[in-house]
Chain A
């Protein structure tokens, strides 16, 4: 772990408004994540941890405050700039995998590369490589519906890292898995953190998993309490 700051959140507020109700999801969140850190975010349901992850991942805009990723200010970026930035810097792992059901494993993994100028041959090569890394080189042409939950999540991780992003954002990656499969997924994430020095931010409910990470932050009612 070096001392370079990868993610810097300053004074983040997030307020959801409907006609009648105003909900404060995040209130004045300040958080720095260093390069190579494995950060866990914990807290009860509805505490705003997923919202925070979305804001870090540039999927959602904060109502106030700024997000800096790798020293770049993201405020005011256009849709196209945000898309390019996500593509280069961030890989997502979702609780419900979100694989594209109409594509097979290798095509799913290639998705992030579709938005870069890379030949299809090179795409296939890279996809095969990352699938090997997650131990799925024998399942390249299966459809998602033919895989177990753990396998699906490994495909999702392969998809998250194929673009070689600095940051991996994982939203309860083991939430839909049994403990054995969950353990396998966690192993892969730790390996990616240690061996490849990737910065990982993970939302989790699992205390044991959180303990194995380098830092835990806790949220309650939209505020950081630890």
Chain B
């Protein structure tokens, strides 16, 4: 191995321009590919408080139609009645939470400054589905939730702004000029945890959000389901199907009908869902992703393969010598590809480091979430950005890139006749 690397170094320093183009080109390709991978990964790789993303199913919206409307439909978040009938009654999952997004709220302590904060109204199961990191206090429980006791969980930075200290469980503050008690304080949450994210969480029984209804089934609620196991999804869908049929029968008496649009969605599909009135075509999304990756691999590979070709040209004689001493064409081919792989891996590591650095430095450019309620910029840390799969992807793409840019030149080099190779000619 050391011999290999030493030899590669000698070859690389032979023609610095070609070598630097090879390395820069490879690093650049992997840099961009890994940015694409990271932008995608933050949408469905798990991190706290959404550590169970692989067991999540979501229904942000419902779609309802009426016999009188023809093809028309009304789409948006659910009313509490619909959400309870269709999702909260599910028995198969480990937990189901209902929550309602709202306009940001005004928060203050008596006599202090007013702050605007993002607020999410939830039930008590919310704290089972999502795994928050409590610094102080505890989440509000079912009893308090049922009783509509005005309690709130807030993030650390808001606690600091309001009270000047994070240890504030039990203290009182105002949300929209109504008094709430702090139940607990959690570590700040990145907006990238698009379901769990907020700055204040309160029980939805504290407000009259349940009264907001429209089009029979519409309201303010969305749901996230936590399955016991990843393979429970079909069972949950089956149970959901029964609940839906039952509910449709009930509302059908007045001409209404819920259109399922194949809800609830798994995390990946949910991440691509922006509009309430149509179902995302995941096949098309996957196809787009493959096209992007293919372009990102092919374009640099065309360049890199001519670089490989040019590097190999210097080594024709060597190839001839090796062949005359008993090396087969196959071994030549494999040797060249392997050798190139080491270069690709080194340059690829460089690209990966660049992409990680860029991800930290350019979060707002890279990860800004469309259609988000919050004005806060997304924050990023290693638990969000780096997963085992990140490195696996990087290595896999290096392998593919290497094959793309070394196979044809290596094949051509191995096919050259020994005599021509020894003579230094290529054709």
Indicate if A touches B (C-beta under 8 A).
Answer: yes
CB neighbours (8 Å) of A159 from chain B are 325
* Contact between chains at A92 and B317 (CB < 8 Å): no
A102 in the interface (beta carbon within 8 A) = yes
Q: In the complex, identify which listed stretch (A26-34, A64-72, A110-118) lies at the interface while the others stay far away.
A: A110-118
* Per-residue contact bits, chain A 115-159, to B (CB 8 Å; 1 contact, 0 not): 110000000000000000000000000000000000000000001
Interface size on B, residues (CB 8 A): 23
* 17 A/B residue pairs, CB under 8 Å, sorted by A: A59-B324, A59-B422, A80-B328, A83-B326, A83-B329, A83-B331, A86-B326, A92-B321, A92-B324, A94-B422, A98-B318, A100-B318, A100-B322, A102-B7, A111-B325, A114-B327, A115-B325
B292 in the interface (beta carbon within 8 A) = no
A205 in the interface (beta carbon within 8 A) = no
Among B3, B7, B325, B328, the residue within 8 A (CB) of A92 is B325
State whether A103 and B324 are in contact (beta carbons under 8 Å apart), knowing that A59-B418, A59-B419, A98-B317 are contacts in the complex.
no
CB neighbours (8 Å) of A115 from chain B are 325-328, 331
B residues 1-18 near A (Cβ < 8 Å) are: 3, 6-7, 10-11
CB neighbours (8 Å) of A114 from chain B are 327
The A/B interface has a contact count, at CB < 8 Å, of 72
| Complex CA–CA separation, A91 to B7 (angstroms) | 24
B contact residues vs A (CB 8 Å cutoff) = 3, 6-7, 10-11, 317-318, 320-331, 417-419, 422
* Contact between chains at A163 and B7 (CB < 8 Å): no
B162 to chain A, nearest CB (A): 67
| Complex CA–CA separation, A100 to B422 (angstroms) | 12
| Complex CA–CA separation, A57 to B417 (angstroms) | 13
A contact residues vs B (CB 8 Å cutoff) = 54, 57, 59-60, 79-80, 83-84, 86-88, 91-92, 94, 98-103, 107, 111-112, 114-116, 159, 163
| Complex CA–CA separation, A182 to B7 (angstroms) | 30
| Complex CA–CA separation, A93 to B6 (angstroms) | 26
| Complex CA–CA separation, A100 to B323 (angstroms) | 13
| Complex CA–CA separation, A188 to B324 (angstroms) | 21
Known A-B contacts: A102-B10, A102-B11, A111-B321. Give 17 more (CB < 8 A).
A54-B419, A59-B422, A79-B330, A84-B328, A86-B326, A94-B321, A98-B320, A98-B422, A99-B321, A100-B318, A102-B7, A107-B3, A115-B325, A115-B328, A116-B326, A163-B325, A163-B326
* Contact between chains at B321 and A98 (CB < 8 Å): yes
* Contact between chains at A112 and B326 (CB < 8 Å): yes
Q: What residue of chain A has the Cβ atom nearest to residue B415's Cβ?
A: A79
Q: What residue of chain B has the Cβ atom nearest to residue A59's Cβ?
A: B418
Among A79, A86, A100, the residue within 8 A (CB) of B324 is A86
B18 to chain A, nearest CB (A): 15
| Complex CA–CA separation, A94 to B418 (angstroms) | 13
CB neighbours (8 Å) of B322 from chain A are 100, 111
Q: What residue of chain B has the Cβ atom nearest to residue A88's Cβ?
A: B326
| Complex CA–CA separation, A101 to B14 (angstroms) | 11
CB neighbours (8 Å) of A94 from chain B are 321, 422
State whether A79 and B328 are in contact (beta carbons under 8 Å apart), knowing that A102-B7, A102-B10 are contacts in the complex.
yes
| Complex CA–CA separation, A101 to B318 (angstroms) | 8
Closest 9 CB pairs of A and B: A87-B326, A102-B10, A112-B325, A83-B328, A115-B326, A59-B418, A102-B7, A100-B318, A98-B321
Among A59, A91, A98, A101, the residue within 8 A (CB) of B10 is A101
State whether A60 and B417 are in contact (beta carbons under 8 Å apart), knowing that A98-B422, A100-B318, A102-B11 are contacts in the complex.
yes
| Complex CA–CA separation, A21 to B326 (angstroms) | 32
| Complex CA–CA separation, A54 to B417 (angstroms) | 11
B4 to chain A, nearest CB (A): 11
* Contact between chains at A60 and B418 (CB < 8 Å): yes
Q: What residue of chain A has the Cβ atom nearest to residue B326's Cβ?
A: A87
| Complex CA–CA separation, A84 to B10 (angstroms) | 29
